[in-house]
Structure 1
Amino acid sequence: MSIPTTMLMSVLTAPHSIELNRVATPTPGPGQVLVQITAVGACGSDTHFYEKGAIGNIVVKGPVALGHETAGIIAAVGEGVDTSRVGVRVAVEPQTPCRHCEFCKSGRYHLCPEIKFYGAWPIDGSFAEYALVDDDFAHEIPDSMTDEEGALVEPASVAVHAARMAGITAGHRVFITGAGPIGVMNAQVARAFGATEVVISDPVANRRQFALQHGADVALDPATDDFSGFDQHFDVYIDASGNARAINSAFPTIKRGGVAVLVGMGGDELTVPIALFQHREIALKGTFRYVNTWPTAIALISTGAIDAAPLVTGRFGLDKVPEALMSAKTDATAIKTMIIPSLTVTDV
């Protein structure tokens, strides 16, 4: 496979400032592969970095390429990697743990204190033509999956991790707040894990309708619908909105012994009705990305257990990254936007 000496990379230089640069194509080191990027999903966290220059305690202090929902083709391998991997299509797990700490050793590598996450300063992400990836975190995908479905393995993994944290199993009733891409993925994964009732809430009519077509039995409008009819009804509650008001309105719907899982990134603090949680013995859990989820997410998508492809509602080249990142706010019909490097138009 012929590899150019330079490549295009879309770089965040400051809030609301992204430049398309031509940079040297990286060379894979020991244990690494060079992936030619074919599709990258635009995530809400990318948009937050673009608008604010920070998420929580992760502050952008210099130029960085965003993008972490990635699929591509292995173009070259580093020392110690089987050369037969060249040409293999992969979905990228965008994190590098230390592999030596107690969390890595116990299989909870996503909690590694030294973990490096692609597209979060100072680690460049995948809004580029090529990216370096740890060999064991470049997961092969079958021919039955498209490149875009490969990129959607990342948000599907978020949902798989949440479903595991919640202990979703056959017969469970599940309530989800937020019907964006993560909320819809959570609805589909909950169904795949055995949930027999999935209710979702979102203030945007288009997203409610989309959720009804892709995993939800009922879609509520939090501005007009009354949740009191679901008092102590759900085994599991998952927040995919990060909205404090939405979260607190959902707590009373959790039954005794139920589980609440917070996935959405919102404010730094949340007021929780402790008496309700104690009296009902509700478990409140946070989630941090994902761990050991890629094989499951790939299997769910490739077998059709979850229908990921319809989430993609827009495609842009590397020259249109700002438009892609803001599409969810500028286009009422947008669900998930993809960056497709091959669509890039530039004379850089």
Structure 2
Amino acid sequence: MDPKTASNLSFILNKPHDVTFSSKPVPTLKSSHDVLVAVNYTGICGSDVHYWEHGAIGHFVVKEPMVLGHESAGTVVEVGPAVKTLKKGDRIALEPGYPCRRCEPCLSGHYNLCPDMQFAATPPYDGTLTGFWVSPADFCYKLPDNMSLQEGALIEPLAVAVHIVRQAAVSPGQTVVVMGAGPVGLLCAAVARAFGASKVVSVDIVESKLAFAKSFYSTHTYMSQRIPAEQNAANILAEAGIDNGADVVIDASGAEPSIQTSLHVVRMGGTYVQGGMGKSDITFPIMAMCLKEVTAKGSFRYGSGDYKLAVDLVASGRIAVKKLISGIVSFDKAEEAFKKVKQGEVIKLLIAGPNEKIA
């Protein structure tokens, strides 16, 4: 693909529910270690939908027009002179956040916590729903021949799940409960199984999501009810045949009732990881956490090794991410795709890049 003749059409959010398509200049390499990537496919994340719906997430507010999207895979079309790991024509999964590499979190191996992180589609930085994208070469992960570019676009949410499950230190034979059966929750269940968990329970309030979870990697499912959190917790453990609580509980929903239930589901001395984001402040069962001496952790995006492992899990056949793809839409239908995701009609929709032809 020739960047000089191909389209760099971009999907731009001006303000909530106000989007435009505009052709932007093709970006140039900023460093000898950069590569120019033609974006082939981009998935729609909940955060993208939240910006489209509300124009902000927490203190990240869209003040100027911003290109959406960050779950992308593409093809290398130009490489900087210092790049040794990639060449023109390589197909890659794109890690969309670039840290400073110099601060204490970066130097200690926690670059996802870098205070100067430049993350795609997080104000004020543009995202990847565009024709071409410049990236540091070491944040591009070459796809093996047996992986499609569509699967490559799902490496980003899979890397989120890998990071969450690594935070939980899931090990063979453990029991794991995952609250929420959206894309990240489903992938957390898949990664937990790949890490050797013997029993993985998915919990949600939508029956169709639980039906899919059971056909994906969950061994058990539970439909959460409008009852006290302790009763929901007891029902989860009883229906899954788990004695004395789950070894690991992951909340991938961010919903207050799910978080409350989680602390009653986890066993004495177990591990609880918060992966989903919700309200800034909630009522939290601190007594349950203290009396059980629970190890509680947060999880944010992904860090060193997570993307590499995510690619390997797909390439090796251990996680079939393609089952999550509900459909692929053309670039000019991007806003329609956002509406479908918002309405909960799909699991994961991919938007083909402006230069990608789809049937």
TM-score, normalisation: structure 1: 0.95
Q: Residues 89-100 of structure 1 correspond to what in structure 2 (within 5 A)?
A: 89-100=91-102
Alpha-carbon distance, 1:19 to partner: 0.5
1:294 maps to 307
2:70 maps to 68
1:272 maps to 284
Q: Secondary structure at the match of 1:264?
A: coil
Identify which of 78, 81, 84 aligns with 2:83.
81
Q: Secondary structure at the match of 2:37?
A: strand
Q: Secondary structure at the match of 2:24?
A: strand
2:272 aligned with 1:260: yes
Q: Residues 14-53 of structure 1 correspond to what in structure 2 (within 5 A)?
A: 14-30=15-31, 31-53=33-55
Once the two structures are superposed, what CA deviation does each residue of 1:308-334 show, in whole Å capped at 9, x if it has no partner?
Answer: 0010102222222222122123353x1
Alpha-carbon distance, 1:224 to partner: 7.0
Cα distance in structure 2, aligned partners of 1:337 and 1:273? 36
Alpha-carbon distance, 1:12 to partner: 0.6
Residues 253 and 331 (structure 1), Cα distance of their counterparts in 2 relative to 1, 3 Å cut: closer
Q: Secondary structure at the match of 1:128?
A: coil
Contact 2:9-2:354 within 8 A present in 1 as well = no
Alpha-carbon distance, 1:28 to partner: 1.4
TM-score, normalisation: structure 2: 0.92
2:123 maps to 121
2:308 aligned with 1:318: no
Cα distance in structure 1, aligned partners of 2:354 and 2:119? 24
Identify which of 217, 230, 233 aligns with 1:227.
233
Residue 4 of structure 2 aligns to which amino acid in structure 1? P
Residues 343 and 208 (structure 1), Cα distance of their counterparts in 2 relative to 1, 3 Å cut: farther
2:284 aligned with 1:283: no
Once the two structures are superposed, what CA deviation does each residue of 1:204-237 show, in whole Å capped at 9, x if it has no partner?
Answer: 1111110001111111111279431427420111
2:249 maps to 237
Residues 83 and 267 (structure 1), Cα distance of their counterparts in 2 relative to 1, 3 Å cut: closer
Once the two structures are superposed, what CA deviation does each residue of 1:5-29 show, in whole Å capped at 9, x if it has no partner?
Answer: 5511111111111101111111112
2:341 aligned with 1:328: yes
Cα distance in structure 1, aligned partners of 2:213 and 2:64? 38
1:110 maps to 112
Residue identity over aligned pairs, in percent, reads 39
Once the two structures are superposed, what CA deviation does each residue of 1:65-87 show, in whole Å capped at 9, x if it has no partner?
Answer: 11111100001123422496111
The total of aligned residue pairs comes to 344
Q: Secondary structure at the match of 2:53?
A: helix
Cα distance in structure 1, aligned partners of 2:180 and 2:77? 38
Contact 2:250-2:262 within 8 A present in 1 as well = no
Cα distance in structure 1, aligned partners of 2:180 and 2:244? 20
Residue 2 of structure 2 aligns to which amino acid in structure 1? S
Alpha-carbon distance, 1:100 to partner: 0.6
2:240 maps to none
Cα distance in structure 2, aligned partners of 1:283 and 1:213? 30
Residue 121 of structure 2 aligns to which amino acid in structure 1? G
Contact 2:96-2:119 within 8 A present in 1 as well = yes
Q: CA RMSD in A?
A: 1.7
Once the two structures are superposed, what CA deviation does each residue of 1:229-286 show, in whole Å capped at 9, x if it has no partner?
Answer: 4274201111111111121122211001111111111000122222211111101211
2:318 maps to 305
Any stretches of 5+ residues in structure 1 without a counterpart?
Answer: none
Contact 1:77-1:83 within 8 A present in 2 as well = no
Cα distance in structure 2, aligned partners of 1:169 and 1:312? 28
Contact 2:48-2:69 within 8 A present in 1 as well = yes
Q: Secondary structure at the match of 1:51?
A: helix
Structure 1 residues 318-327 or 141-150, which shifts more? 318-327
Q: Secondary structure at the match of 1:81?
A: coil
Residue 173 of structure 2 aligns to which amino acid in structure 1? G
Residue 289 of structure 1 aligns to which amino acid in structure 2? R
Structure 1 residues 67-76 or 268-277, which shifts more? 268-277
Cα distance in structure 1, aligned partners of 2:349 and 2:330? 11
Q: Secondary structure at the match of 1:85?
A: coil
Contact 1:43-1:325 within 8 A present in 2 as well = no
Cα distance in structure 2, aligned partners of 1:174 and 1:309? 23
Structure 1 residues 336-345 or 17-26, which shifts more? 336-345
